[in-house]
Amino acid sequence: MPTLNSITSRENPVVKRLRRLAESSRARRDEQLALIDGAHLIAAAQDAEWQFGEIVVAESARHADETVRLLLRASSVQCYVLPDALFRQISPVETPSGLLATVRWSEPDTPPVAEADWLVLDGVQDAGNVGTMMRTAAATGVREVILGPGCAQAWGPKVLRAAMGAHFVVRVHLSGDLPSLLAGYSGCIAATRLDGAESLFETDLRGPVAWIFGAEGQGLSSAVAAAAKRGILIPMAPGIESLNVAAAAAVCLFEQRRQRLATQ
């Protein structure tokens, strides 16, 4: 098991850097590091063989079984132990777990596979929604996730926590021009709509689909909406007009998966 180096001062350079990563999206982008909290996310990153910067443990968690198991797998990683009060100052979440780590992220080396399913987010600003939709993509076998302008930062702490390890399963792409990217897609491009749309449950979704979902309030931008070749209506009970965007994505992606499993 690696040595736990003790840090007790908030002026320590490691503490200052971790605090910047917790608070600043620019710092995370410039350093291409994400701050992940909790044994589940750290284990998921280890399983996916991602590169760690360091692992940080709160004093009260250093002897916990899950801490020991994770540290045994981190023999080549720099590890630190902090007093609980100091750990809380650098934790990116409101209820710290006692374990956090930095992992290095980068965009995929290749563009999204044109023949695969895509989850495309256009201006989805709520971090919880972005993370939940990424988790749904992973659960339904969608591996290409594209975030357009205005989305919550993919590697922000709240997105990471909501995604529950999906970052280490899907490929996360950032695009500044969704219409141009979608123009090269070889399958069906679909968006949920209320008017002029076909029922989700009557639509053949067995082929590749690029699902596009827009901002919580405004929906899709006009240019991205124009790229959708198929409008999908989610049948709802009378008097209900819409769903939360993450719920809508879950309904659509699992209907797609249901259809494919039914034909196997």
Rounded to an integer, the average pLDDT of 25-30 is: 94
User: Distance between alpha carbon 190 and the CA centroid of its chain, in Å?
Assistant: 21
**Taking Cα atoms as reference points, which of 24, 188, 33, 21 lies closest to residue 117?**
188
Domain ranges of the chain: 4-104, 118-262
pLDDT at 219: 87
Does the predicted model carry a pTM greater than 0.85?
yes
Residue 241 pLDDT greater than 90, yes or no: no
| Tens digits of residue pLDDT in 180-200 | 999 999 999 999 988 868 999
Rounded to an integer, the average pLDDT of 211-235 is: 92
| Fold topology of 118-262 | Alpha/beta knot (3.40.1280)
The superfamily (CATH) of domain 4-104 is: Ribosomal protein L30/S12 (3.30.1330.30)
Quick check: 100 and 56 in contact, CB under 8 A?
yes
Pairing of β 230-233 and β 198-199:
parallel
Confidence of residue 225 (pLDDT cuts 50, 70, 90): very high
What are all long-range contacts of 234-243, with beta carbons under 8 Å and residues at least 24 apart?
A: 234/192, 234/200, 235/199, 235/200, 235/201, 241/194, 242/194
- What is the number of alpha carbons within 13 Å of residue 191 lying toward its C-beta? 23
Per DSSP, 85 falls in state H
Q: Which two tokens stand for residue 128?
A: 């919880």
Comparing 96-110, 112-126, 148-162, 185-199, which segment has the lowest mean pLDDT?
A: 185-199
